Amino acid sequence: MVGYGVLSGDMTGTHNFKNQVTFSQGAAGIGVQVVKDSTIWYVDKNKTGPASSGDGKTWATAFLTITEAVAAAGDYDVIFIGQGVYSEAATLAITQAGLKIFGAGTSGYIWGPTSLKSDTCADHMITINCNGVEISGLDFIANTTSKNSIQMSDTANTYKTHIHDCHFGGGGTTNIGINCDSMQDTVDMHVERCEFYNHSTAGIYLSGTRCKVTDCLFFVPAAGIGIDLPDTAGNRPDKLIANNYIIGSNSTDTGIKIASTEPTDGTLLVANNVVTNCNTNITQDKSNAGVVNNGTSGDGTAPLIVDAES
């Protein structure tokens, strides 16, 4: 039996807590899966004591920019980002397998006080070029034309990306919230509990194998698309689009766009979505090729009607 008493400084070695542990001042790293030998990195642009980047290993010695944390991180590391609006000067290129990035909005609120803004970035805000990446709790603010919030790799296939509890603000410019490359396969990506607002190209351009978009909310502007599903024939099969809410502007917009040449039997399931007030809610009501869509109707003066049989 070991009695710790009042301690300060660093504790080394292995410590096993067999009963409940209460941290009166909070504890970083609790509530996320951290693998053996991984490192937790901290970013806090509002840190004032001292007002300069440290080694990133604690909140007191946090980095001031996300760029520094991404450069320092290794495979399966974790990055915690404090509150604030971060306008990073360069694209955050994620090449570390299993890297986890958490903003300050991960505890119950779909997005929080941690924002990533595209003002100074010359290209997309984040590119994912490896497998097993998780991103949560970030608010993406796109203010520039043709710059996507998250761009999947255009050089290699990626696997098992998990994006959840984020907000994507398009600003009405010609950008995409999450964009999958049309040449490289995005495999097993899951996007859930996110909000996409005012993307004039698409909230999500989903080209990939075994991808899922569930429990998300889309506000689609004029000429925009909520979810674009471009894959055809047997290419990149097995997608699930379910339990999403899509609200349009009823002006040349599309809620869910399905390629005119549909995937082969059993490859695409679009079900239990509520889509309303788009010029085209869903591009096809039914499909003999395994596509199941919800017929919907509704406008600003009438209640929404969802007919599961239509």
Over residues 148-200, the pLDDT tens digits come to: 999 999 999 999 999 999 999 988 777 899 999 989 999 999 999 999 999 98
250-296 pLDDT per residue, tens: 888 999 998 877 666 667 788 888 888 888 888 864 444 434 555 55
Separation between Cα atoms, residue 120 and residue 91, nearest integer Å: 10
Report pLDDT for 308: 43
CB contact at 8 A, 180 and 148: no
Cβ-count burial 95-112 (b if 16+ within 10 Å, e if not): ebebbbbbbbbbeeebbb
In this model, does residue 108 exceed pLDDT 70?
no
DSSP-assigned letters across all residues of 83-115: SEEE--SS-EEE-STT-EEE-TT-SSSSS-SEE
The set of residues, in sequence order, having a beta carbon less than 8 Å from that of 208 and lying 6+ positions away, is 152, 180, 185, 186, 187, 189, 231, 236, 239
The set of residues, in sequence order, having a beta carbon less than 8 Å from that of 7 and lying 6+ positions away, is none
Averaged pLDDT for residues 229-246: 85
Mean residue pLDDT across the chain: 83
Report pLDDT for 173: 76
Instruction: Report residue 89's pLDDT band, with 50, 70 and 90 as the boundaries.
Output: confident
Read off the tokens for 216: 């998300």
Measured distance between the N- and C-terminal CA atoms of the chain, rounded to whole angstroms? 67
Report pLDDT for 126: 96
Report pLDDT for 93: 96
Instruction: Report residue 111's pLDDT band, with 50, 70 and 90 as the boundaries.
Output: low
Report pLDDT for 260: 76
**pTM score, two decimals?**
0.86
H or E element at residue 8? none
Instruction: Report residue 2's pLDDT band, with 50, 70 and 90 as the boundaries.
Output: low
- Lowest-confidence range among 23-37, 52-66, 185-199? 23-37
Quickly tell me which residue has 């509890």 as its tokens. Answer: 165
- Lowest-confidence range among 104-113, 191-200, 210-219? 104-113
Report pLDDT for 20: 59
Separation between Cα atoms, residue 200 and residue 131, nearest integer Å: 29
Averaged pLDDT for residues 217-238: 88
In this model, does residue 99 exceed pLDDT 90?
yes
CB contact at 8 A, 130 and 100: no
198-207 pLDDT per residue, tens: 998 999 999 9
Quickly tell me which residue has 């869509």 as its tokens. Answer: 293
In this model, does residue 302 exceed pLDDT 50?
no
Task: Provide the 8-state DSSP code for 233.
Answer: B
In this model, does residue 299 exceed pLDDT 80?
no
Report pLDDT for 132: 97
Q: Which long-range contacts (CB under 8 A, 24 or more apart) does 31-39 make?
A: 31/107, 32/78, 32/100, 32/102, 34/78, 35/76, 35/98, 38/74, 38/75, 38/76, 38/77, 38/78, 39/73, 39/74, 39/77, 39/78
Report pLDDT for 41: 95
Report pLDDT for 106: 52
In this model, does residue 222 exceed pLDDT 80?
yes
